[in-house]
Amino acid sequence: RIVDGQAQYTLICNRNGGVIDDLIAYRNSADDFFLVPNASNTADVVEYLQELAPSGIVVENLHTSYGVIAVQGPKSAQLLNSLGVSTDLDYMSFSVVKIAGRDAILCRTGYTGELGFELLPSWDDALAVWDCLAEAMVAFGGVVCGLGARDTLRTEMGYPLHGHELSLDITPVQASANWAIGWDKETFSGAEILREQKAAGAVTKLRGLLCLGKGIPRGGMDVKDKAGNVIGSVTSGTFSPTLKNGIALALIAPSVNIGDQLVVDVRGRDLDVEVVTIPFVPSHVR
């Protein structure tokens, strides 16, 4: 589905259909792919791919060879351009560039819902690239952010996070992620179970919840209907700086419709919420 120089979001499922990780696959050539998983899952991804790899296919763990620096936001291209970096890339594509005198892979990707890029310098060059960006961003009003900010942004976009919306126990079918599976493939890891689940119909759907009162739902909290019946659970919750309101993602019964009002049990207190479409805010990735 992608050609050289392009990237694609994908899932690695185990034989039971559970998600080992979600990641971005970058195609260097027809027989050379570069995968960027979640850092904490790298070893599991490498181990499983090595187990499945046929003769002649080499799976190498490069986790300690590269750094990843996300440059995200409406002025991200301007910042990189000011450093002599060309940003003439289509969404979900990549190229090799020079920054701070070092080579780095520049990817037109991100997990914030904003216009942005991700830089992958070698591990030895990562600090120099970081320092260069940190100094240059001041002129553009940029700030340094950590994973907490990224998590808020991805929640506003309804993007799944492994261990929350996807996991070894939550399959793509159960998490409304059918779109990320190549159903037309002859086979893939977990295909039999996932196809059975798809044919039977999902037992849960990933929905957005907008808080109607003060409070912030957190992962693991029960979601109930107005009669008090538990119909699902919160997978991620946060305060949205954009909406200035509590929001959450939840896996709930498929019978629930957009616009329905439900309740989240916040440490014994009922918090009224409304089921809404996701993303909560407009996407600016393109």
For strand 102-107 and strand 94-99, is the pairing parallel, antiparallel, or unpaired?
Answer: antiparallel
DSSP 159: -
pLDDT digits (tens, 9 = 90+) for 56-91: 999 999 999 999 999 999 999 999 999 999 999 999
- 1 has pLDDT over 90: no
Domain coverage including residue 186: 1-199
Contact 167, 19 (CB under 8 A): yes
CA distance 160 to 167: 10
Q: Mean pLDDT across the stretch 237-252?
A: 98
pLDDT digits 0-9 by tens, 13-50: 999 999 999 999 999 999 999 999 999 999 999 999 99
Q: What is the CATH number of the domain that holds 255?
A: 2.40.30.110
- In this prediction, what percent of the chain has a pLDDT beyond 90? 100
Is this structure's pTM higher than 0.85?
yes
The stretches of the chain forming alpha helices (DSSP H) are 42-52, 76-82, 126-136, 147-157, 191-200
For residues 168 and 135, membership in a common domain is answered with yes
For residue 210, how many other CB atoms are within 10 A of its CB? 16
> What is the C-alpha separation between 191 and 17, in angstroms, rounded?
7
- What pLDDT is recorded for position 214? 95
Q: Are residues 83 and 8 in the same domain?
A: yes
My answer on whether 93 and 155 are in the same domain is: yes
Clarify whether residues 195 and 247 are in a common domain. no
φ, ψ (nearest 5 deg) of residue 200? -75, -20
Determine contact, residues 196/24, Cβ cutoff 8 Å: no
Phi, psi of 80 (to 5 degrees): -65, -40
